Structure 1
Amino acid sequence: MTIRRLRPTCPGFESTKSLNRDKPFLAPVLCQTSKMGAYKYVSELWRKKQSDVMRFVQRVRCWEYRQQPSIVRLVRPTRPDKARRLGYKAKQGFVVYRVRVRRGGRKRPVPKGIVYGKPTNQGVTQLKFQRSKRSVAEERAGRKLGGLRVVNSYWLNEDSTYKYYEIILVDPAHNAVRNDPRINWICNPVHKHRELRGLTSEGKKNRGLRGKGHNNHKNRPSRRATWKKNNSLSLRRYR
């Protein structure tokens, strides 16, 4: 009795033997791509933002976004792979909003440019805002939708005037959220308006809390608290 040994084949091809003979460098690549899921292909598309397809699609979408209000609720996320990585689930209680933020610096809000103090502190126009546009988008979404909780956000598009972000929010009063052990932590009242207190991922990044290791203890609990502790004279009473 003879036993035939079956060779592994790639989908869409009779056998890898002919591939290895004709184009040996293609066989492992084709076998590998056959195992990729749909989200992996979407991620690769978004990685190559300068490709002809993405440049055209993004340009058309940017025109569409400019015609709409600054805060718009979406039926589903534009980047489903990115949204799922950041906590989005296609279930009740989860919503996605697109927020438009104007690019550029931040002027000091002084009436008629009248500032007080020393000349070195009298700047109005060349000041640099200490938070990113993404955190501003989270803040605006959280203020407008006070009954929802901000989970996370991600970059979507930009042009010469605006940047666009998608914000993932959940309804803390919805039973689908309250009964889900992976997300019901956000229903606790201490997480109200976490985007306004720098507790989201982007907020922690702006506060310098992403790093670990040497000298990062100076950023915790915050840069200001550490500076205040190091520059305050404390003469404790000897007992």
Structure 2
Amino acid sequence: MGAYKYIQELWRKKQSDVMRFLLRVRCWQYRQLSALHRAPRPTRPDKARRLGYKAKQGYVIYRIRVRRGGRKRPVPKGATYGKPVHHGVNQLKFARSLQSVAEERAGRHCGALRVLNSYWVGEDSTYKFFEVILIDPFHKAIRRNPDTQWITKPVHKHREMRGLTSAG
């Protein structure tokens, strides 16, 4: 077993004493930072590599904080119109996952970059934290590599907005 396999096994046992402590400390650290910030390196290198990350120029990691919970319908003073079946305001759930919301926010913030994928890094009672892998489509290291050339094509602009990443 290689190093990444051992890291993967550690992340599978999130209830172990070591991981519980690490996740709690990291969560506190992430809360002090802004809701969207660039991470110097992936928190989970094994997961990032499985999702397509490479430690080379042109790859960027952003950490996103998303507020947990359902979605309240934005209506003025709770006044909904139409049939009673559509009068719900409070107990509605958003159709998309919080992970896809995190990807969308990263894509909006970094308009020139392409969203490749994302993964979970932590959560508390209020927030979920995701790391999003972004690629610079104009970097020569990406454009010249036959394995990554596909993402430089214009059809892959804002994949995250159209549900083309694994988060949906």
Larger RCO (CA under 8 A, 6+ residues apart): 2
The CA deviation at 1:134 is 0.4
The CA deviation at 1:50 is 0.3
- Distance in 2 (CA, whole Å) between partners of 1:197 and 1:132 is 14
Give the corresponding residue for 1:33.
none
The CA deviation at 1:157 is 0.3
Give the corresponding residue for 1:56.
21
Give the corresponding residue for 2:125.
160
The CA deviation at 1:180 is 1.1
SS of aligned partner of 2:6: helix
- Distance in 2 (CA, whole Å) between partners of 1:145 and 1:88 is 17
How large is the Cα RMSD of the aligned pairs?
0.7
Q: How does 1:61-76 map to 2 (within 5 A)?
A: 61-76=26-41
- Give the counterpart letter for 2:68 in structure 1: R
Higher-Rg structure is 1
SS of aligned partner of 2:167: helix
- Distance in 1 (CA, whole Å) between partners of 2:163 and 2:9 is 31
The one of 94, 98, 102 equivalent to 1:133 is 98
The CA deviation at 1:101 is 0.4
Give the corresponding residue for 2:57.
92
Give the corresponding residue for 1:103.
68
- Give the counterpart letter for 1:92 in structure 2: Q
The CA deviation at 1:41 is 1.1
SS of aligned partner of 1:43: helix
Give the corresponding residue for 1:28.
none
The CA deviation at 1:160 is 0.4
- Distance in 1 (CA, whole Å) between partners of 2:19 and 2:148 is 33
- Structure 2 unaligned blocks of 5 or more: none
Q: How does 1:146-225 map to 2 (within 5 A)?
A: 146-203=111-168
TM-score (norm 1): 0.69
- Give the counterpart letter for 1:186 in structure 2: I
Give the corresponding residue for 1:113.
78
- Distance in 2 (CA, whole Å) between partners of 1:172 and 1:150 is 10
Bigger strand share: 2
The CA deviation at 1:128 is 1.3
- Structure 1 unaligned blocks of 5 or more: 1-35, 204-239
Q: Any idea what the Cα deviations from partners look like across 1:41-90, whole Å, max 9, x if unmatched?
A: 11111011000000001000101111110111011100000000000000
SS of aligned partner of 2:20: helix
- Distance in 2 (CA, whole Å) between partners of 1:103 and 1:183 is 33
Aligned length: 168
TM-score (norm 2): 0.98
Question: What percentage of aligned pairs have identical amino acids?
Answer: 73
SS of aligned partner of 2:122: strand
- Give the counterpart letter for 1:114 in structure 2: A
- Distance in 1 (CA, whole Å) between partners of 2:39 and 2:123 is 18
- Distance in 1 (CA, whole Å) between partners of 2:60 and 2:149 is 15
